[in-house]
Amino acid sequence: MTNTTPRLLKQTEIWIDAPVKQTATQQTIQVATSLPHTLIEDPIGNQILHLAIPVLPPNSSKILTVTADLRLSDHPNPAFQTPVERFTAPEPGIESNHPLIQTRAQTLQGPDPLTTSRRIYQWVADNMEYIGYVQEQRGALHALQHRKGDCTEYADLFTALARANGIPARTLSGCVYEENAVLKVRDYHNWAKFYHEGQWYVADPQKRTFMSNPSAYLALRISTTGNPEPWGNAHQFAYVTRGIRVKMH
């Protein structure tokens, strides 16, 4: 975090994604930072680090290190339950009630929810073109109409098509990695999960992963509307102080 101005900045605030507290395959044991922080949790398990820097001198920087201790498993914990009703309705970027999405969803219906989920995953994987990182979050309808985007569009389109078929689904943000790792910005990724017989399963059409390798997915955010301001729908971090620059490595 850098103060790019020639003046002293007071009470510089920043909000940073921390790993989701718990999912069926992930449990966050501890989050530590190199600077004092407050840990905020929302009703669905998202965790946000809030830091307030009392004084940031002119043209100076502060370096923040975040360390997390997690347990990840390839086998969903059957004891972990989460309400799914909120993940069946349309919301901004997940336009599951739009006629175009509903029409496409009908063509992918199978004899049972699992077959339908697999058909949706395969259709998105086969019909979307990956164009690399896109800063703007365009949503499922845009993805369906243009058939291209980054991992966010892939995930949002799967989520919308699943919900249009009555299958609970959600988009998650985080990282895909192997074993112990220092996470880099380039590792940031979006994928979907769908609910089947009491458990959430990975559906990642951009990386062509379906119902496998869940322990490689570290969730930093379960996407949803209604996040408190100033966080909103920002990814990775957010700040409101003018004159600062924040960079993640």
DSSP H or E segment with residue 144: helix 139-146
151-164 vs 113-127: helix crossing angle, rounded to 10 = 150
Region 202-220: mean pLDDT is: 95
Region 10-33: mean pLDDT is: 92
Q: Where do the domains of the chain lie?
A: 2-76+229-245, 85-222
Instruction: Kindly tell me if the per-residue pLDDT of 227 is higher than 80.
Output: no
Calpha distance 149→146 (Å, rounded):
8
Share of the chain above pLDDT 90, in %: 67
Instruction: Kindly tell me if the per-residue pLDDT of 183 is higher than 70.
Output: no
Q: Are 246 and 1 in contact (CB under 8 A)?
A: yes
Three-state secondary-structure class, residue 165: coil
Q: Distances in Å between the alpha carbon of 190 and those of 2, 100, 171? A: 28, 23, 7
pLDDT computed for residue 184 by the predictor: 67
The model's pLDDT over 25-55, given as tens digits with 9 standing for 90+, comes to: 899 999 999 999 999 998 888 999 999 999 9
DSSP H or E segment with residue 9: strand 9-18
The model's pLDDT over 56-89, given as tens digits with 9 standing for 90+, comes to: 999 999 999 999 998 988 887 765 777 898 899 9
Instruction: Considering the domain delimited by 85-222, tell me its CATH architecture.
Output: Roll (3.10)
Q: Are 39 and 49 in contact (CB under 8 A)?
A: yes
